[in-house]
């Protein structure tokens, strides 16, 4: 009998453990300069290892226990108080993904997800729709950018959605520790456009921008994509209307041979190093 559990076990056994740890160490070495001290870097490595583990629930408590720690204090310190450059780490990981999976026919996929929360203190929390629950819940929502290529896919960027009730309340933002430069209101498609623009500026190679109806049908996002690629000269397609694109079936396919409800331009390829 074929099940997702057996498929996951088969995938684990198909990976060379020694090679996996070599690549994992290479990732940690790549981001190491972004940390002022060794302890936060060590906790970051533990957190990453926990996030890719087989734990059913993944939070600071479960990961700490999985790593043999008595408390989650180290992981919580990393996420709340430790000194490290999160934006630079994001860029390092994006470059690692491009080095591993980079392909001119790849796809940038924009989408959102939410985390159900209790209370009102978590940054950006409010009653709003979240796909995690499939309904309106008290939740925190973020927009993500995925790089999908024939050889693999991974998240390469993110932006937290800050609702108007937060953006227009400076005292609440101050209490939550939100920097003044991050307090402005932006719609989710606007956040998506910023993520795409950042990928273009980093010369991430791709031929498509895809998203569900919420993003693909947004006229301002479609216009923004057109502006972002206005100097590239080659058409890139973006999902629009009520039709969506399965990126797994589009990877490596010429834009002229797939769905037509798309707009935009192609991302320039990263120059050879």
* pLDDT averaged over 10-residue windows placed end to end, the chain, 273 residues: 45 71 94 95 96 92 95 95 94 96 92 92 94 92 95 95 96 92 93 93 88 83 78 52 43 39 38 41
Q: Are 204 and 229 in contact (CB under 8 A)?
A: no
With CA atoms as reference, report the closest residue to 160 among 147, 175, 173: 173
Tallying the residues shown for the chain, one arrives at 273
Q: What SS3 string covers 223-252? A: HHHHHHCCCCCCECEECCCCCCCCHHHHCC
pLDDT at 231: 54
3-class state of residue 220 by DSSP: helix
Q: How many CA atoms lie within 13 A of 78 on its CB side?
A: 21
3-class state of residue 44 by DSSP: helix
pLDDT at 226: 77
pLDDT at 2: 42
Task: Give 270's DSSP letter.
Answer: P
pLDDT at 17: 85
Q: What is each CA distance from 40 to 25, 84, 189, in whole angstroms?
A: 15, 8, 33
Confirm whether pTM is higher than 0.85. Answer: no
pLDDT at 30: 96
């Amino acid at each position: 009998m074929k099940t997702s559990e057996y498929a996951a076990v088969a995938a684990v056994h198909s990976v060379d453990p020694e090679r996996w740890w070599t690549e994992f160490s290479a990732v940690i070495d790549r981001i190491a300069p972004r940390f002022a001290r060794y302890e936060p870097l060590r906790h970051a490595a533990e957190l990453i290892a926990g996030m890719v583990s087989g734990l059913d629930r993944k939070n600071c408590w479960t990961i700490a226990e999985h790593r043999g720690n008595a408390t989650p204090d180290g992981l919580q310190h990393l996420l709340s108080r430790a000194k490290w450059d999160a934006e630079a780490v994001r860029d390092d990981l994006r470059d690692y993904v491009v080095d591993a999976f980079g392909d001119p026919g790849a796809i940038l996929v924009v989408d959102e997800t939410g985390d159900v929360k209790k209370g009102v203190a978590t940054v950006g929390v409010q009653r709003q729709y979240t796909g995690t629950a499939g309904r309106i819940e008290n939740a925190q929502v973020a927009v993500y950018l995925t790089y999908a290529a024939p050889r693999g896919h991974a998240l390469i960027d993110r932006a937290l959605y800050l609702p108007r009730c937060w953006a227009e309340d400076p005292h609440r933002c101050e209490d939550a520790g939100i920097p003044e430069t991050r307090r402005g209101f932006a719609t989710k498609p606007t956040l998506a456009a910023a993520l795409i623009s950042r990928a273009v500026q980093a010369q991430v190679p791709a031929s498509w921008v895809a998203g569900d109806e919420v993003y693909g049908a947004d006229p301002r996002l479609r216009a923004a994509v057109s502006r972002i690629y206005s100097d590239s000269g080659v058409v890139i397609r973006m999902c629009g209307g009520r039709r969506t694109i399965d990126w797994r079936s589009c990877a490596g396919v010429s834009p002229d041979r797939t769905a037509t409800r798309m707009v935009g331009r192609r991302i320039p390829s990263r120059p050879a190093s």
